[in-house]
Structure 1
């Protein structure tokens, strides 16, 4: 039994799924993987079922009925994980924008350095983004600046989706309190962890845009973040937050 599991949400990732799973299992650390697939019509989950024969007791699959948002996919995965005995819980994309070799660096920040949340950060040391068009780089970079300005959160990459959480963070946050369903979900989790007093570290990583498959980004993702963050901040001002023990 491993103490660390990587949750990978998927929708139409047939071009990437086998390679990303193989890459995670190639690491020195014996990670487990949970794929949360939104009933991909391209056969992503069928490929995972095939791979389960190759990686018994290490590769797990949850198939949801439909695509209802990144946040809900992660919450589904987190609930599955918290029902088991994992201590370190990761978020990672399936498209190789997150380098599987960096998993051990995020783990070390929590396991060895004593942090509760380790974020694979694109912006803690300049701008470490490869193959993104400039307009998307600027949109992402200034979105994080905007979030920092509105919330006061001391994190450079607030929208990052490459993260290691200690179990107690997700247990304390209360997944039932999460309101965002798109990419702003990433901001909300970090904000709640910070408000609860958990120790957060940004680990510098290089983010590389996908070379296979289609991006899931659209304008509604950013509108949720822009307007939702203000509401989140206002709600937090009227909610008493008890620091974790």
Structure 2
């Protein structure tokens, strides 16, 4: 696509910081040393078919970035593969966790690992390739003028590839319900491709994040908005996984529904009673 025809990095919204340029070819080829060290956190559970591929794509897309594979003791040998990758590349690291504790818990552990080691930018990315590493420069470019950048499927220029209509309706409906219930002005509040500044995560107090499941994404975005940080969304192309099994389940959807409903009702009650 011609750079002059690219969709804007930011949709029109008062929360979005001013002055962030559209992403151009020069942006995508630039270094991000000015942001400080970047850590891409990739949670894994039974991703033996994907972990080597996604790690290589991240290293190619942003060569200065480091990768942390946060493995939940995968029985298929994902952790062993990650160890071999780390032994061959000093910018690849592995966090071995005791067992399957959920996506949110894996990210929180990864955030703490990265902050303890001085990384300035912490990125969430799925292991299955649905979050394209080749679009990471777009998120990092926008982070120069924001505290949190979300890769969004639902802003102009964003799209989803290979999802059935039922999954599209569920995802868009979930984002819309969360936005309305929590009064969060983010188009893709459930999306999981994100870049945080270190200071943002430190300021939020991660020990207070309520949800350890997929609803963690909504919780963290909501907290970021409430705390007054600058939030940006950039368009991405979300591609359904080709290898391995999806971790989405009915239980995850129900958890998100009841948590968001409870948070929204509590927030409205607090507002009515004057409680902060």
Q: TM class by shorter-chain length?
A: over 0.9
Match of 1:186 among 217, 227, 247: 217
Match of 1:5 among 16, 34, 39: 39
Moved over 3 A (4+): 234-240
Query: 2:81 maps to what in 1?
Result: 47
Match of 2:116 among 71, 83, 94: 83
Query: 1:243 maps to what in 2?
Result: none
The answer to whether 1:173 aligns with 2:213 is no
* CA–CA distance in structure 1, aligned partners of residues 237 and 158 of structure 2: 9
Structure 1 residues 213-242: Cα deviation after superposition (integer angstroms, max 9, x where no partner)? 0000001111111110122234445463xx
Match of 2:105 among 48, 72, 75: 72
Match of 1:206 among 210, 219, 237: 237
* CA–CA distance in structure 1, aligned partners of residues 62 and 225 of structure 2: 31
Structure 1 residues 12-64: Cα deviation after superposition (integer angstroms, max 9, x where no partner)? 000000010011111244100111100000000100111112212x1111111
SS in 2 for 1:105: helix
Question: Offset at 1:182?
Answer: 1.1
Q: Is the 8 A contact 2:39 2:66 kept in 1?
A: yes
TM-score, normalised with respect to structure 2? 0.83
TM-score, normalised with respect to structure 1? 0.93
Question: Offset at 1:181?
Answer: 1.3
Question: Offset at 1:78?
Answer: 0.8
**Cα distance, 1:126–1:151 mapped onto 2, change above 3 Å:** farther
Question: Offset at 1:126?
Answer: 6.9
The answer to whether 1:129 aligns with 2:163 is no
Give runs of aligned pairs for residues 17-32 of structure 1, distance below 5 A.
Answer: 17-32=51-66
Match of 1:101 among 134, 153, 177: 134
Aligned residue pair count: 237
Q: Is the 8 A contact 1:20 1:96 kept in 2?
A: yes
Q: Is the 8 A contact 2:211 2:219 kept in 1?
A: yes
Query: 1:219 maps to what in 2?
Result: 250
Gaps of 5+ in 1: 241-245
Q: Over the residues paired in the alignment, what is the CA RMSD in angstroms?
A: 1.5
